[in-house]
Structure 1
Amino acid sequence: MTHQNHSSGSEARVLDALRQVVDPELGVNIVDLGLVYGTEIRDGVVHVKMTMTTPACPMEELLMEMVHSAILGEIRDARSVEVDLVWEPQWKPDMMSEAAKSQLGR
C-alpha cells in the first residue's frame, strides 16, 4: 500500500506527518513504534494502514484523532484521511525502529 499519486504528495511526507503522532503511554511516535503498515495518497485522500500495540488499546480513539489532525495539518493537498485499522500482522515489539527500542531501553 505504498502507491502514490505524485501530484498529491508522497509516502515520505505522510510518514513525516505521522511522526508527530506520539503514543501518550509510551512517548514514542507511531512510525518508530512500527504501528504504521503503509500509506497511499489517491486523489487527495490519504489512506493509512495501521495497528495498535494491543486490540484493547485505551488510546485508540485519541490516536486516530491525532493521525487525522497531523495529516490534514501537514499535507496541504490532503482533502481527507481514511485509516484502516488492522490486527494482522499482530504488532510485536521487534517491529519498532532501533531509535524507538533505544528510547524505551530495549
Structure 2
Amino acid sequence: MARPNYIELPASDIAASKAFYHQAFGWELTDFGPSYAATMTGDVDVGLQGDPTEATRAPLPVIAVDDLEAALLAVTAAGASIVRPIFAFPGGRRFQFLDPHGNELAVVQAD
C-alpha cells in the first residue's frame, strides 16, 4: 500500500537546521554527505536537503510504493507532470511529480 513515509525539507544551512531540530524535538539526524541529513526512525522520517540545486521550494512529501514504475504510470495517467524522472540514490529509487494543483511530491521504492 502506498503511504507517506518521508518529508524532505529545504535547508540552506544543514548544521543550523540539525541543531534546531535536535534542540526543539530531540531528533538525531544522520549525515549523508555534506548537504544532506535525515532522521532514521523507520517511521515517517525527515530529511534536510542543503544542496540548492536539489532542494525543492517547499516541504516535499514522499510516498513509499512497492512498484515504482507502476506508480509512475499511475500518476501520469491521473494527470501529473513529472518534474524529475526516476533516479537512484542510496537506499532506493524515486521520481518527483506535480499534482494537478502544482504540489510537488515524490514517490520512492526502497532497495
TM-score by shorter chain over 0.5: no
Larger strand fraction of residues:
2
Task: Calculate the TM-score normalised by the size of structure 2.
Answer: 0.28
Larger helix fraction of residues:
1
* Bigger Rg over Cα: 2
